Amino acid sequence: MIEVKNLYTILSGKVIHKNIHLKAEKGKTTVIIGRSGCGKSVFLKVMTRLLNPYSGQIFFEKKDIAFLKEKDLIPVRLKIGFVFQGAALFDSMNIYDNVGFALKRIQKMSDKEVEKKTDELLEWVGLRGVGNAYPAELSGGMRKRVGIARAIANEPELVVFDEPTTGLDPIMTDVVDNLINKLKQEKNMTSIVVTHDLKSAYKTADSIYMMEAGSIMGQGTPEEFKNSRDERIQQFINGKAEGPIKV
């Protein structure tokens, strides 16, 4: 689905990514883990061309989009659903309008169709009946689920999640992890998930990539990660800080 080769990113004169190679297979969940500030969120943005790479290739369904012009990116973006760090709902819109936004704007569905589809989506994420509420009235876990409903409204081929479980309690984390798995099982979607929650990574990933200071320093299945003898992977797994912790 996505294959990144030899990717470098430079922002404000600072090298953020060095020689990244990553493959996200169709219908699978690829998880990227790594410490705070290592470049995960920027990677998702570059990979989907919300930010520009410095050099390298980004194949999306076999087409290199790394340096595609803005207007040629429109059809690519329509195939991608985003669940941003923090959910990023429109505070002034109720949940119906948040979820139905793209259906109205992009698919030009009638109000009645939007209502039906939005009801289905909310039901699918386990939030039946919240359509008339506003984001501020929902818990963090509910907002994350609304964010997921919105991201999949257009039936994208790829869903990109940035820290979907950060700040959630263990039960809500489980609910969100289950939804990521349900997306794969029921809708055959491809997901790329950025997280620093190792337990979530083990539960959802087919393939895990570990990023460190802008480079990929390990890749494997959850099982391979658990059994890895690589010292840096073990340090991360066991929660040991390496060098001074940046706050």
Ligand X SMILES: Nc1ncnc2c1ncn2[C@@H]1O[C@H](COP(=O)(O)OP(=O)(O)OP(=O)(O)O)[C@@H](O)[C@H]1O
Interacting residues toward ligand X by CB under 6 A = 11-12, 14, 16, 34, 36-42, 196
Could you tell which of ligand X, Mg ion, none binds residue 16, using a CB distance below 5 to 8 A set by kind? Answer: ligand X
Q: Report DSSP letters for 175-214, one per residue.
A: HHHHHHHHHHHHH--EEEEEES-HHHHHHH-SEEEEEETT
Between 127 and 168, whose beta carbon lies closer to ligand X? 168
Shortest separation between residue 36's beta carbon and ligand X, angstroms? 3
Q: How many CA atoms lie within 13 A of 30 on its CB side?
A: 21
Between 38 and 99, whose beta carbon lies closer to ligand X? 38
User: Taking a C-beta distance cutoff of 8 angstroms, is the pair 25, 158 a contact?
Assistant: no
Between 34 and 131, whose beta carbon lies closer to ligand X? 34
The site for Mg ion, by CB under 5 A, has a size of: 1
Between 153 and 201, whose beta carbon lies closer to ligand X? 201
Between 45 and 145, whose beta carbon lies closer to ligand X? 45
Shortest separation between residue 39's beta carbon and ligand X, angstroms? 4
Shortest separation between residue 135's beta carbon and Mg ion, angstroms? 21
Shortest separation between residue 12's beta carbon and ligand X, angstroms? 4
d(CA 157, CA 176): 19
Could you tell which of Mg ion, ligand X, none binds residue 38, using a CB distance below 5 to 8 A set by kind? Answer: ligand X
11 burial via Cβ count (<10 Å: 0-12, 13-18, 19+): middle
Alpha helices in the chain (DSSP H): 40-47, 70-77, 95-105, 111-124, 140-152, 170-187, 198-204, 222-226, 231-237
Q: What is the 3-state secondary structure (H, E, C) of 142-154?
A: HHHHHHHHHHHCC
Shortest separation between residue 76's beta carbon and Mg ion, angstroms? 22
Among 11, 41, 50, 133, interactor with Mg ion by CB under 5 A? 41
Could you tell which of ligand X, Mg ion, none binds residue 193, using a CB distance below 5 to 8 A set by kind? Answer: none
Quote the DSSP letter at residue 158. Answer: E
Residues near Mg ion (CB under 5 A): 41
